[in-house]
Structure 1
């Protein structure tokens, strides 16, 4: 939630304060919007692409997307997929969200960036988020296509040259090198990337058994992230909060808040969360009311046993801020 325009930051703070004053226990912070689940890559660890052709043929219209953000009321939207740049209305979707004063993050693998780079305009509330899992060899292996790393780097440079805010999202898998990951993050800072997101992968059941050993368990996440931070030093501008990193490194215990980042995809409102699919609902309210939230999270559901993804825990980190954490957040927010 950091390093956006001042007006957007004020809107986020007001939103948090309003819900706290009203005593609202569960409310969304970021709409995880998937206007299409079609993708032009077959990433090894992705469960999204392993769905029926019937689902992959569906897509949300721009008006469906606007209805979704208005229905849930979240102050921010992460437009993902699939690959959202394959969607014919993606420019209209982005501009419509910005017109509604939303923080907008457009997640992409970078391959189709040329379709929108001259059609979108830089905006303080808009960020391109490039998927980049590691250095060249590691990233190209995980996305199962040679040359994609170089395409991403070229895209980052092109976006920065045009004045866009740029972030990267690095998903951690077993076998990732802490040293190489830290070096990548440092290189991204040198390219002018505004923020880096780091998060362990989710153990998708849909990933076939031949690749199921790529997912990290909690203790492995603690070790890997600790080593990455040690190698990276203090020069990386992370999008993740320091409280979330305390969780990833095993210094703080958090309870998952799956309702904070609800998912709207072409089949409806996906419950219980962005990662698990037990049902799809016709409305956001129906999803909130019919989901037994106490059944999910570490220690409650075996499917959640290894999950430490930011989609479930970044809001938990914000809600868990103690007086001792305040200065950590201040330093994080104003880091240059």
Structure 2
């Protein structure tokens, strides 16, 4: 497993009240079943537009954010999705639709763009049971990813991101997906890999106060048929088998383990044919601090027209070693002055880990915080809030038996 020292990277400054993103769930209804989903699919799961407005106002009151991930469920199933996008825009935040894309049409995309949509994060992986895509592996699904990327490119200046849940049997495809993203760096701005997690009943018991809780009713409970402890470092090591220079620049640590990588960001610069280098910790710190200084918010998503300005980013090579190296590599060929240099992000997310002492290593400064009963809570554990009113505590089985 790759040995990464967290102190070699920039610790992203995001926290509970001042972050890059907030997570809005206007619906729990979805038109697909994804194996790794942590939300129960409810047929009548739509919130009213008034409820959505109230939650947005709570975000405005309690938390700064550059963007709002409009998620679910699948937000495109909500009858008021266009109005929801407008409401986010009114509050001077960037609406990012987190969707499987199944309900997206060119006509709907036009209306969403008029409403102010800033970007899409498409969830595409092989564990979704997609109609017409069953039994396709992650590489074969690149055809579908490219379809959505081209849709957004044709609409113009809409950020395009893809995420996929990473399982033990799909890990092997990650290097190929990273390579595919680079080959479409002009269309794909962000790639996200979310490591599969589920309740592991073999190690811990769950409690609400003194009461032991049966977790069998929750959607993210299972006797795991696959690993639920894949680490970020393993994914980096895998990527480096085909791309040895792959080099992250920033991270979020765990709430219990400061040297764990819960969100690991890599920024890279290149063309469709070649990667020239990477963003370093000083460069990404400058981007975050400058955005906060000018706009009062930490940057979440950049406009596609800005990610095409990689040559401007190279100017930060004056104080960023990695960008300086990229500068000389790119301009080694003087004709590259006529080429466009693109920036692309690769993010690896390692959700909750249950540690040996029963503590829960969550994401410290998690961007995916949502609203429940007027409070800010972790979106990945909403089922606990809905079923029990609180996040549950965990203890090792030997402590409780």
- TM > 0.5: yes
Using a 3 Å threshold, how does the CA distance of structure 1 residues 274 and 248 change in structure 2: closer, same or farther? same
Partner-residue secondary structure (3-state), 2:146: helix
Contact 1:28 1:259 in 2 (8 A): no
Provide closer, same or farther for how the CA distance between residues 248 and 118 of structure 1 changes in structure 2, counting only shifts above 3 A.
same
1:175 and 2:281 aligned: no
Deviation at 1:41, TM superposition (A): 0.7
The yes-or-no answer on 1:216 pairing with 2:204 is no
The 3-state SS of whatever aligns with 2:33 is coil
Asked if 1 retains the 8 angstrom alpha-carbon contact of 2:27 and 2:45, the reply is yes
- 2:238 matched to 1:227? yes
Shift of 1:256: 3.1
Q: Which residue of 2 aligns with 1:165?
A: 159
RCO higher in structure (CA 8 A, sep ≥6): 2
SS of residue paired to 1:223: helix
- Counterpart selection for 1:127 from 119, 125, 130: 119
Query: In 2, distance between residues paired with 1:302 and 1:222?
Result: 25
Q: Quick check: 1:278 aligned with 2:393?
A: no
Q: CA deviation at 1:264?
A: 3.6
How far off is 1:214 after superposition?
A: 3.1
Matched, 1:70 2:57: yes
Task: Report the equivalent of 1:117.
Answer: 109
Structure 1: segments with no counterpart, 5+ residues: 1-11, 17-24, 134-138, 282-289, 304-336
SS of the equivalent of 2:55 reads helix
Q: How large is the Cα RMSD of the aligned pairs?
A: 4.1
Conserved 8 A contact 2:368-2:378? yes
> Alpha carbons of 1:232 and 1:129: their partners in 2 closer, same or farther (altered >3 Å)?
farther
Distance across 1 between alignment mates of 2:75 and 2:362 = 30
Query: Larger helix proportion, structure 1 or 2?
Result: 1
- Please tell me whether the aligned partners of residues 110 and 130 of structure 1 are also in contact (alpha carbons under 8 angstroms): yes
1:274 offset after TM fit, Å? 1.2
Indicate yes or no: 2:96 matched with 1:105. Answer: yes
Query: Is the CA contact 2:160–2:190 (under 8 Å) kept in the aligned structure 1?
Result: yes
2:129 corresponds to 1:144:
yes
For 2:261 and 2:241, locate their aligned partners in 1 and report how far apart those are by CA, in whole Å.
13
Q: Pick closer, same or farther for the CA change 1:171–1:258 going to 2, 3 Å.
A: same
| 3-state SS of 1:279 partner | helix
Report the CA distance between 1:201 and its aligned residue: 2.2
Contact 1:85 1:112 in 2 (8 A): yes
CA distance in 2, matches of 1:250, 1:70: 27
SS state at 1:105 partner: strand
Question: Mapping of 1:247-286 within 5 angstroms?
Answer: 247-248=260-261, 256-257=363-364, 261-264=368-371, 268=373, 272-276=377-381, 277-280=383-386
Shift of 1:128: 0.6
Q: Does 1:243 align with 2:234?
A: no
Partners of 1:249 and 1:264 lie apart in 2 by 21
Counterparts of 2:245 and 2:68, CA distance in 1:
28
Match of 1:284 in 2: none
Contact residue 269 and residue 280 of structure 1 kept, 8 A: no
- The change in CA–CA distance for 1:124 and 1:279 in structure 2 (over 3 A counts) is closer
SS in 2 for 1:77: strand
Please state if 1:190 is matched with 2:296: no
How far 1:111 sits from its partner (Å)?
1.1
User: Which of the pair is proportionally richer in strand?
Assistant: 2
- Secondary structure of the 2:384 match is strand
- Kept in 2, the 8 Å contact 1:28–1:260? The answer is no
Q: Which protein shows a greater Rg?
A: 2
C-alpha contact (below 8 Å) 1:35/1:79 kept by paired residues: yes
Scaled by the length of structure 2, the TM-score of the pair is 0.52
